[in-house]
Amino acid sequence: MPHENSYHIEAAGGGAVTLVLTGRMDLERFGELAGLIGAVFDTHNPSKLNVDMGGVTYLDSAGALFIVELEDEARRRSVVFELSGLSREKMGILSLIDRDAMTKPSLAPRERRMNIVEQLGAASLAAVRDVYDIISFSGELICELGYSLMHLQKVRWGDVVSYMKKVGVDGLPIVGLISFLLGLIMAFMSSLQLKQFGANIYVASLVAVAMVRELGPIMTAIIVAGRSGSAFAAEIGTMKVNEEVDALATMGFSPMRFLSVPKVIASLLTVPVLTVFASIFAIMGGLIVGVLGLNLTIFTYIQQTMKAISIFDIVSGLVKSVIFAAAISAVGCQRGFKVRGGAEAVGNATTSAVVTSIFLIIVIDSTFAIILHYIH
Amino acid sequence: MNNTEPVIRVEDLTVRYGSNTVLKDVNFEVWPGEIFVIMGGSGCGKSTLLKHVIGIETPAKGNIWINGTDTSTLDDRELGKLHMGIGMLFQSSALFGSMTIGENVALPLTEFTGLPMKDIESIVKMKLGMVELAGYDNHYPSELSGGMKKRAGIARAMALDPAMLFLDEPSAGLDPVTSAELDVLIRKLNEGTGTTMVIVTHELETIFNISHRIIMLDRDAKGVIAEGDPRVLRTDSDDPRVTDFFNRRVTEKKSKGMTT
Q: Where are the domains of chain B?
A: 8-85+162-251, 97-161
What is the dihedral sign for C-alpha B19, B20, B25, B26?
A: negative
Average pLDDT, chain A: 91
Residues of A in Cβ contact (< 8 Å) with B122: 65, 69, 102
Provide the ipTM: 0.81
C-beta separation of B224 from B217 below 8 A: yes
Instruction: Say whether B138 and A107 touch across the interface (CB within 8 A).
Output: yes
Pick from A56, A60, A91 the residue to mutate for testing the B interface (most B CBs within 10 Å): A60
- pLDDT over 90 (residue B19): no
- Min Cα distance A44 → chain B (Å) is 23
pLDDT digits (tens, 9 = 90+) for A63-74: 999 999 999 989
B126 touches A: beta carbon within 8 Å: yes
- Residues in chain A with CB shorter than 8 Å from the CB of B188 are 96
Check whether B3 has a pLDDT greater than 70. no
The per-residue pLDDT for range B124-163, each reduced to its tens digit, is 999 999 999 999 999 999 889 999 999 999 999 999 999 9
Region A183-192 average pLDDT = 93
The predicted model gives A120-135 an average pLDDT of 93
Q: How far is A212 from chain B (nearest CA, A)?
A: 45
Instruction: Give the count of alpha carbons within 13 A of A288, CB side only.
Output: 12
Are A360 and A325 within 8 A, CB to CB?
A: no
Distances from the Cα of A212 to the Cαs of A126, A284, A357, B58, in angstroms?
37, 13, 21, 54
CATH code that applies to domain A6-103: 3.30.750.24
Rounded to whole angstroms, the Cα distance separating A191 from A24 reads 78
Q: What is the DSSP secondary structure assignment for residue B32, as one 8-state letter?
A: T
Task: Please tell me whether residue A195 adopts helix, strand or coil conformation.
Answer: helix
Strands A16-25 and B69-70, bridge-based pairing: unpaired
Q: Decide if B192 and A92 are in contact by the 8 Å CB cutoff.
A: yes
Q: Which CATH number fits domain B8-85+162-251: 3.40.50.300, 3.60.10.10, 3.20.20.210, 3.40.50.10860?
A: 3.40.50.300
Q: Is the pLDDT of residue A50 over 80?
A: yes
Interface test with B, best of A29, A61, A97 (most B CBs within 10 A): A61
Q: Considering chain B, what is the average pLDDT of its residues? A: 89
A268-292 average pLDDT score? 95
Predicted local distance difference test score (pLDDT) of residue A311:
93
Q: Which residue type does A345 have?
A: A
- Mutation choice for B interface testing from A100, A104, A112, A346 by most B CBs within 10 A: A104
Residue B58 — very low, low, confident or very high, per pLDDT cuts 50/70/90? confident
Residues forming a β-bridge with B164: B86, B196
Interatomic CA distance for residues A246 and A250, integer angstroms: 6
Q: Model confidence over A141-167: pLDDT tens digits?
A: 999 999 999 999 889 999 999 999 999
Instruction: Select from A369, A328, A134 the least CA-distant residue to A221.
Output: A328
Give me the sheet containing A48-59, strands edge to edge.
Answer: A6-11, A16-25, A48-59, A80-84
The tens digit of pLDDT for each residue in B90-135 reads: 988 889 888 899 999 999 999 888 899 999 999 999 999 999 999 9
Give B-chain residues touching A31 at CB under 8 angstroms: 113-116, 119
Whether residue B55 is predicted with pLDDT greater than 50 in this model: the reply is yes
Q: Give residue-wise pLDDT tens across range A293-327.
A: 888 899 999 999 999 999 999 999 999 999 999 99
Residue intervals in chain A for CATH 3.30.750.24 = 6-103
